[in-house]
Amino acid sequence: MSVSPSIRLLTFHRMRALVAFALGALLFFTYQSYFWLRYVKGDGNPLGINNASSSNENSDDDPQLLMAKADHFYWLNNGYKAAPLYARAEKLFADKGDARDEIYAKVGRLRSEAESMSFDRLSRILNGQLQNPIVRGDPRLRLWCLVAKGYTDIEIDYRATKRDWLEAQELAKDLGEKQWIARASGELGLVAFLEGNPGRAARLLGGALLSTMASGDIGGQIRFLELLGRGSSEESVGH
């Protein structure tokens, strides 16, 4: 028996509502958990966040310090501040002949400047970096490139971003990078939603949100709450 387009559309809106409701219910518990963890920790600095940005000593000439600062802003989803720092570090690494860190800084710069070119072009550039023998032989650098491509491909093709994040998640597990594991989980939750699997989407996004709050990953929280807000907004428009 065929299903009319109007019924399919209604079903899709109901799936979206289910995800929003599930995440909304989780949100109350999550914020309580987050503030409880901060209280128990007794530490004003979020866990897992690089605080190198507070150091200014000779940072303009030290590519490692520049990159640490850039990573700090990138982790907080602040590409505007991260981009020039990555660009400066990229040039300094190139001058030193440090190809590995030059690639890292370049990928960070490209993602931070993502709005300056088409996502198709950026995805192709990042795919080219993934084929580089240096990247192939360096799990941490490959994870960095996969993450950048995953964030890019979601704007083009969710099937491609699913491949990116599945590989990134496996690498993160091998490397013990818990915060990237959580972020990968949340992005795969978004993919599950786009695939029409609201139960899996709610589980992955909700679990990722809990993990980012427990670890103090502010950027991850912003990302997943933004996705939740966008879904709720679309739901209102749909009705």
Neighbouring C-beta atoms of residue 55, cutoff 10 Å: 12
Domain boundaries, the chain: 27-48+177-239
DSSP SS3 for 167: helix
pTM metric for this prediction: 0.76
In tens digits, the chain (239 residues) has pLDDT values of: 444 444 344 444 444 554 454 555 454 444 444 444 443 333 333 333 344 444 445 568 899 999 999 999 999 999 999 999 999 999 999 999 999 999 999 999 999 999 999 999 999 999 999 999 999 999 999 999 999 999 999 999 999 999 999 999 999 999 999 999 999 999 999 999 999 998 898 899 889 999 999 989 999 998 888 876 665 555 444 55
Element at 161 (helix H, strand E): helix 158-175
